[in-house]
Structure formats: structure tokens, C-alpha cells
Amino acid sequence: MERKRLPDNIRAVVFDIDGTLVDSLDAWAESDRIFLAENNVPYDEEISEKLKTMHFISAAQYFIDELHVDMTLDEVMDRINEIIGRKYREEITAKPGAFEFAKQCTEKGMHICAATSNLRGLAEGVLESNGFMPLLDFILTSDEIGSGKDDPGIFLECAGRMGTAPCDTAVFEDSFHAALTASKAGFFTVGVYDRKYADEFERLGDVCDMTVNDMSELLTVKKG
């Protein structure tokens, strides 16, 4: 396996969560299937493809407006949260090398944090269950910033809190649009392969400073 390393000037790392630190993307499609089955609505993969680009509230409203689920908005959100929350706490696992690399960064004295478009409760649940929480300086969500990852605000806020400039901060992302945003803002960007976005991996190579199939490629080989 080819070993790669971050540039020596990198002093902090911003990790995306879903598809980067943890293998969670299938969990959303499975939750959609379970929820729709409970409401006697046929499931189609195209539904999950549409929903994955939506904010959580918009996705919940989609179930009501387009799929005619006979529930209030709050009821839909509560039930989806219950289904997906259990998966995030109990089923989703870290991607290969992710925990080990995050730990290696902290051992080198680097600051690390997580930036996500997901809900804070879900992010905290999956990071806690996979051991990441004690390693992280903090978690920041798009809701808290007020914009998604098509805007550099979340990445700039992360760097600011860690006391580093974008050029001294690495951003790890599996999503092309998020990696492009970070790259344009001056961050050192690392594209991480995820099977859900396999067709985007080549495009990640076009905008990122580095790409990895998984973070095991970045682990330091210990002697002895």
C-alpha cells in the first residue's frame, strides 16, 4: 500500500463525518425504506437520491407533500430521528484507518475537529460510539453556521477556532462539492473515497491536493 503524508506545515485537520470518518451513507436509505414501509408507501432508490441533497426539515416535508404520508411534520421528524438515531448509536462503524489516523494526528500535537451538515445529536452519537469524541476539539454543524458546505463559512470557522490559517489546515471530505468549496477557500484538501460516491472520486482528484482510498494510507509505520 502506498503511504502518503500531509505537508509539514499542516497544524490542524477538519474532518467531515458521514462518508469520511464513518460509513453511514447507506443508513439513510435504509431508514427511508423502514419509515415508508411503516406508512405503506412503496420504496424506490430514487427517493433516497432526492432526499440526500435536502436539509432534514425539507426531507421530512417531502414525505408529507410528495409521498402523502399522513403525519404532521413534527411526527415525521421524530420518527425518522428515532430510526436513524439508533443506527448512528448502535450500527454505524468507522471507515478503515479513520480512528487510527485521527488519533495519530492528536499524538503529533495537531488540533482536529469535525464539520458536518448532519444534525448535532446524530453526529455526537456516532462519534461517541466509535471513540472519536475524546480526540476532537469540537464539532460544528451547518445549522449552527447557517449555511451548507457550498459556502466556506463552516471551514473558516473551524480553522479560526483552532487558531490556524486555511493554508495550514487540512480538510478531509468525500463529497466533491464540499471539497471544492474548501479548496477554493485555500485549505489543503484531501478527498476520501466512499463507495456511495464512487463516481465522484475521479472528480475529487481534480480539485483536491491529495486523495486516499482510505486513511490507512496516511498512517505512520512504526519501527520495531
What domains, with CATH codes, occur in the chain? 12-23+93-218 (3.40.50.1000), 26-90 (1.10.150)
Q: How far is CA 170 from CA 65, 137, 144, 151, 185, in A?
A: 40, 15, 21, 17, 12
Per-residue pLDDT in tens (0 to 9) along the chain, 224 residues: 567 899 999 999 999 999 999 998 789 889 999 999 999 999 998 898 888 767 778 889 999 999 999 999 999 999 999 999 999 999 999 999 999 999 999 999 999 999 998 889 999 999 999 999 999 999 999 889 988 899 999 999 999 999 999 999 999 999 899 999 999 999 999 999 998 778 889 999 999 999 999 999 999 865 44
pLDDT digits (tens, 9 = 90+) for 15-33: 999 999 999 878 988 999 9
pLDDT digits (tens, 9 = 90+) for 68-88: 999 999 999 999 999 999 999
3-state secondary structure of 192: strand
